[in-house]
Amino acid sequence: MAGSSIMETLFQRNLEDLIKASRQQQVQESLFISKSMDEIRREIKSTDLHTKSVALQKLSYLSSLHGLDMSFASFHAIEVMSSPQFLHKKIGYHAITQSFNDDTPVMLLITNQLRKDLNSGNQFEVSLALECLSRIGNIDLARDLTPEVFTLLSSSKAFVKKKAIAVVLRVFEKYPDAVRVCFKRLVENLESSDPIIVSAVIGVFCELSLKESRSYLPLAPEFYKILVDSKNNWLLIKVLKIFAKLASLEPRLAKRIVEPICEHMRRTGAKSLMFECIRTVVSSLSEYESAVKLAVVKIREFLIDDDPNLKYLGLQALSIIAPKHLWAVMENKDFVIKSLSDGDFNIKLESLRLVMAMVSESNVAEITRVLVSYALKSDPGFCNEILGSILSTCSRNVYEVIVDFDWYASLLGEMARIPHCQKGEEIENQLIDIGMRVKDVRPELVQVSRGLLIDPALLGNPFLHKILSAAAWLSGEYVEFSRNPFELMEALLQPRTSLLPSSIRAVYVQSAFKVSIYCVYSYLLHRENVASSIGYGNQASEVSESVSKKECPESSDLTSEAPAFSEQDEGFNPRDSNQSFEDPSTENNGDVIVTHAQSSTSASLGKSSFTQESIVNLLNLVELALGSLSGSHDVEIQERAKNVLGSIDLIKKEILNPVVQEEQNLVREETEAFNAVKLMRDAFSKELGPVSTSAQERVAVPDGLTLKENLSDLEMICGDAQLPLPNTFSLGSPQYGEKVDEPLSDLQSKDKSESLNESTSLLAEHRKRHGLYYLPSEHGEIVSNDYPPANDPMSQDKVSEDAADLVKLTEQSLASKKKPNHVKPRPVVLKLDGDEIAIAAKKPGLNGDTLSGAVRDVLLGNEALPTSSRSNSSDKPPSKKKGKEKLNTDLPLESQDNLGGEEMPGGTASSRKSKHRSHGKERRHKSLGKNDEQKEDNGQKETQRSNHRHGRHKARQKADGHLNVVAQTPVIPDFLL
């Protein structure tokens, strides 16, 4: 065995051989690698440490460049790492840093070796161990090695010290309690005369403050000194990053640092430092006009530079400042627009974001027009970026920037026709959303939908199917605004609809149903009117009036109906005037028209287009088109098709022999078919509204119902149950749904089982029995909707607020463009409180983690206390609390002093001030809106309560004993000086 080991050593390929060999293997790299791996597996088991280490070295090489698993060698790596020879040790450490992670089982075995090396007199060994700790350190390692790291923090060798400082970051992150041990020494190093050490410390604070910055406010004086004195750009950039975080927390600090930062901006030639200054100003110091102005000048220099990097960063800086100082973007408008056609996708994207930031109520039409025409010319990727950002900008805050919804509806239609458009889903959502929210736009939406539906070419594009589904739904739901329902019907039933996926096809069928019911109903209504006008004028007009009331069943008072009807009038007027006077029977109706203008509109419309022939044709068409679908494999389509066919069967019979029936019906006033149609029409014209996202929450949980937290067992029960159709189509009040279901399914079942003759009589009987439930006499309960009607006074308030906001916006956005001329008032946009919640929910919560908690403790001067002796805050005498509260009220003045000069008069004072500053801030957050006097009185309660409120973040910290609340030791850490 020993012999073979020597042989191995003699003939082992070293790393260089391996690399050379691999370079010659051009063809079968994988084969070569697997061969080498076999070799390595053999060699690594060698007893000779040199052979082992070379094998490990080769393995690390292959693993890092070819992604091979080297976990099998973990133990060997530890052996090599423990070698007394530095060269072996280095290889071992390299392998460990590269391959170990929290899941490595032998991780525990390295603790002792690491400790030994950290204590080594050889600084390079120490460095290896530190590097290793910084890369793979886990909780155990961090905890066990904290004392060693602490010692190294005051090492005399800068080489070791700076690495120890960098390692502290990892140790803190994994084991927050280490803060109590190491933090003071870390802060002391800020004072070091060696710039490298200071730089390392600042690097650590920079990373720490990114996660949670409030705790580091007390160190501001030190950072400030560096900001003013240092000439090292690396260091300055880090300090600026820290200040960017701190300044947004403490306005007085911001005031102090504005001037030094501007000074750097004026003086420096380094672009990186310049950019950091700019970024700090635009993100955290945007209230300081002069600084912002200077920054914008510098941004402009970036923008006009030839270097694409600077250009990109300039645009990025602009987009940071855009929300607060839109003028900065406006000033560089030309450049931004020009960058839209840059050769670089990233630059184009940035400038697109900026263009969208410039959008306001007054220029939205113009900007989108330019962008849409630009999208037509761009590559598919960017085209969709443009469309996506138009859609999201226009829909922001419930369509805040849109005044002319007719325009927006047609824009959506136009966007759907852009060849590369892949935003089908978003367009679908918005079409339906504005349809439900904005009443006034419905005629235009139906018009747009018609355009999309009748174009057979669009059916072939799968990206548009979603949009077509929305169009079909809209034209079915709002069919009363359609100029020509027959045309719409043909579009919905055209043969190419077979290209649609079944879920969307079902929408088409349902819409066809709604359209046909509308047509038949209008026709019947008209017939009735004609009939009644002969002898029963009054009665008929009553009927038609009551019918027209039901067009908008959800709005109870007639005044609020007015806008909707006038809109309808506008739409139909031309035809009305043309045709109604040609028809002699209208003359007979004269008095009806005068007295009941509204009802006559629909009546005369019926007369004009809904002749018996056209209706029969329509029904034939439906039967023809849907006949084949009644055998569809998709249940949704099949069921809907059968429903339609069944009800058409019913209707048709009556319409086919009208002359006989008409005379008789005069007496009976209502026929079965008419009733059925009217019922369905009523059901369909019941308005659907948007549902608030919080609607479900408002439903109280009934007694005795226990809700499970975890629904995982539900999956077992209904494993592969399919979800219902997209929720957009299931909106509406539940009562409504039930009511429709019942009659339809009943009709259906009767129809199927009985012959036609029987079915009508049975239906009549059925109706007689259940008539009460069928007739929509109980409108009262339908009215109780859970969303506010469009003309609700409350929502009008909202809108007026909204309008005020818009006015403000336009004033702010120093747009040099023409002022908006409001020819049309902005229509009412339905808003739900859910929308606002969704908007507000974006605000990030205050985050505190265990690490920052620990840091705060140390800065508050608690680190001297051993963990065990820390007691709960509730044990503390209340008098102390009170005193603290009082101090808090004096807070502003004190902290002003604190920041006023970086040289503090006395250590005691300064530390206490800073301590209370960070406290006060928390308190201020927590007790917002509470009475101040009260606060003084129940100081203790207050503290506890607030502690609870933030308990979630600080669970760990609390376990340590409410440290940040107590802060009772007036020991003054001198590092705050």
Partner 1 sequence: MGIRFILMVNKQGQTRLAQYYEWLTLEERRALEGEIVRKCLARTEQQCSFVEHRNYKIVYRRYASLFFLVGVDNDENELAILEFIHLLVETMDRHFGNVCELDIMFHLEKAHFMLEEMVMNGCIVETSKSNILSPIQLMDKTS
Residue with Cβ nearer partner 1 (313 or 524): 313
Which member of 51, 53, 127, 339 binds partner 1 (CB under 8 A)?
Answer: 127
Q: Which CB, 332 or 964, lies closer to partner 1?
A: 332
Provide the minimum distance between the beta carbon of 171 and partner 1 in the complex, in angstroms, as a whole number: 10
Q: Give me 808's structure tokens.
A: 């403000």
Closer residue to partner 1 in complex, CB, 310/806:
310
Which string of DSSP letters, residue by residue, matches 343-372? S-HHHHHHHHHHHHHH--TTTHHHHHHHHH
Selected from 152, 167, 391, 679, the binder of partner 1 by CB under 8 A is 167
Binding mask 614-643 for partner 1 (x = CB under 8 A): ------------------------------
User: Crossing angle, helix 537-550 and helix 502-535, to 10 degrees?
Assistant: 160
Q: How far is the CB of 166 from partner 1 (least distance, A)?
A: 4
Single-letter residue type at 13: R
* Nearer residue to partner 1 within complex by CB, 131 or 792: 131
3-state helix, strand, coil in the chain (%, to 5): 75, 0, 25
CB atoms within 10 A of CB 703: 5
First to last CA, the chain: 68
**CA 167 distance to own-chain centroid:** 36
Asked if residue 432 lies in contact with residue 389, where contact means CB atoms within 8 angstroms, the answer is no
- For partner 1, the closer CB: 163 or 505: 163
- Residue among 52, 74, 75 nearest 63 (CA): 74
**Residue listed under structure tokens 């929305």:** 470
Give the separation between CA 128 and CA 126, rounded to whole angstroms.
5
Q: Could you tell me the smallest distance in angstroms from the CB atom of residue 145 to partner 1?
A: 14
Q: Which is nearer to partner 1, 165 or 383 (CB)?
A: 165
The residues in 169-228 that bind partner 1, with binding defined as CB under 8 A, are: 169-170, 196, 199-200, 203-204, 206-207, 210
Nearer to partner 1, 70 or 329 (CB): 70
Output 205 or 518, the one with its CB closest to partner 1: 205
Q: Buried b / exposed e across 504-515, counting CB within 10 Å, b at 16+?
A: bbbbbbbbbbbb
Q: Does residue 677 contact residue 527 with C-beta atoms inside 8 Å?
A: no
Q: How far apart are CA 543 and CA 525, in angstroms?
A: 9
Q: Report the greatest alpha carbon distance in the chain.
A: 124
Site track for partner 1 across 254-293, x = CB under 8 A: -----------------xx--xx--x--------------
283/694 with CB nearer partner 1: 283
| Smallest separation (angstroms) from partner 1 to the CB of 194 | 11
Binding mask 91-110 for partner 1 (x = CB under 8 A): ---x------xx--------
Burial class (CB in 10 A: 0-12, 13-18, 19+), 923: buried
Could you tell me which residues come within 8 angstroms of residue 5 by beta carbon, excluding any fewer than 6 positions away? 46, 47, 48, 51
- Nearest approach, Cβ of residue 122 and partner 1 (Å): 11
Count how many residues are written for the chain.
Answer: 977
Provide the minimum distance between the beta carbon of 172 and partner 1 in the complex, in angstroms, as a whole number. Answer: 11
Site string for partner 1, 490-529 (x = CB under 8 A): ----------------------------------------
Q: Which residues contact 91 (CB under 8 A, 6 or more apart)?
A: 53, 56, 57, 60, 80
User: Are 966 and 919 within 8 A, CB to CB?
Assistant: no
> Residues 13-32: x/- map of binding to partner 1 (CB under 8 A)?
---x--x---x---------
69 binds partner 1 (CB under 8 A): yes
Q: How many CA atoms lie within 13 A of 245 on its CB side?
A: 21
* Exposure class string for 401-436: b at 16+ Cβ within 10 A, else e: bbbbbbbbbbbbbebbbbebbbbbebbbbbbbbbbb
**Residue 225 near residue 213, CB atoms below 8 Å:** no
Q: Which residues contact 642 (CB under 8 A, 6 or more apart)?
A: 630, 748, 752
Choices 230-238, 465-473, 547-555, 863-871 (CB under 8 A): range interacting with partner 1: 230-238
Q: How far is the CB of 137 from partner 1 (least distance, A)?
A: 9
> Which residues have a Cβ under 8 Å from the Cβ of 29 and sit 6 or more positions away?
22
Pick from 14, 30, 122, 309: which binds partner 1 (CB under 8 A)?
309
Least Å distance, CB 134 to partner 1, is: 4
Nearest distance, CB of residue 139 and partner 1, angstroms:
14
Task: Find the shortest distance in angstroms from Cβ 348 to partner 1.
Answer: 10
Stretch that binds partner 1, among 133-141, 677-685, 737-745, 960-968 (CB under 8 A): 133-141
Q: Tell me, by CB under 8 A, how many residues bind partner 1.
A: 58
| Span 322-381, contacts to partner 1 by CB under 8 A | 343-347
CB of 159 to partner 1, least distance (A): 8
> Which of 187, 262, 313, 832 forms a contact with partner 1 (CB under 8 A)?
313
39's CB contacts (< 8 A; 6+ apart) are 13, 55
Minimum distance between the CB of residue 91 and partner 1, rounded to whole angstroms? 8
User: Which helix (H) or strand (E) segment is 935 a member of?
Assistant: helix 932-937
Cβ nearer to partner 1, comparing 295 with 313: 313
CB-nearer residue toward partner 1: 189 or 482: 189
Query: Which of 135, 324, 575, 653 forms a contact with partner 1 (CB under 8 A)?
Result: 135
Question: Considering only residues 72, 75, 159, 773, which one is a binding residue for partner 1 as defined by CB under 8 A?
Answer: 159
- DSSP H helices, 249-332, are 251-267, 271-284, 289-304, 308-321, 326-331
Output the smallest distance, CB 232 to partner 1, in A: 8
Q: What residues between 136 and 155 interact with partner 1 by CB under 8 A?
A: 136
Q: Provide the minimum distance between the beta carbon of 518 and partner 1 in the complex, in angstroms, as a whole number.
A: 51
| Stretch of 175-183, 231-239, 434-442, 746-754 lying at the interface with partner 1 (CB under 8 A) | 231-239
Tokens 């929210």 appear where? 437
Between 60 and 482, whose beta carbon lies closer to partner 1? Answer: 60
Which residue, 238 or 465, is less far from partner 1 as judged by CB?
Answer: 238
| Among the residue ranges 158-166, 222-230, 469-477, 517-525, the one whose residues contact partner 1 (CB under 8 A) | 158-166
Taking CB under 8 A as the criterion, the residue among 5, 39, 50, 68 binding partner 1 is: 68
Q: Which CB, 134 or 908, lies closer to partner 1? A: 134
Under a CB-based contact definition with an 8 Å cutoff, are residues 629 and 509 in contact?
yes
The nearer residue to partner 1, 295 or 509, going by C-beta atoms, is 295
Asked whether the CA dihedral 819, 824, 825, 831 is positive or negative, the reply is: negative
Amino acid at 923: R
Residue 861 region, left (φ>0) first, then alpha (ψ -120 to 50), else beta? left
Smallest gap from residue 308 Cβ to partner 1 (A): 4
CB of 185 to partner 1, least distance (A): 17
Alpha-carbon gap, residue 973 to 607, rounded angstroms: 93
- Residues in contact with partner 1 by the rule CB under 8 A: 16, 19, 23, 57, 61, 64-65, 67-69, 86-87, 90, 94, 101-102, 124, 127, 130-131, 134-136, 159, 162-163, 165-167, 169-170, 196, 199-200, 203-204, 206-207, 210, 233-234, 237, 241, 271-272, 275-276, 279, 308-309, 311-313, 343-347
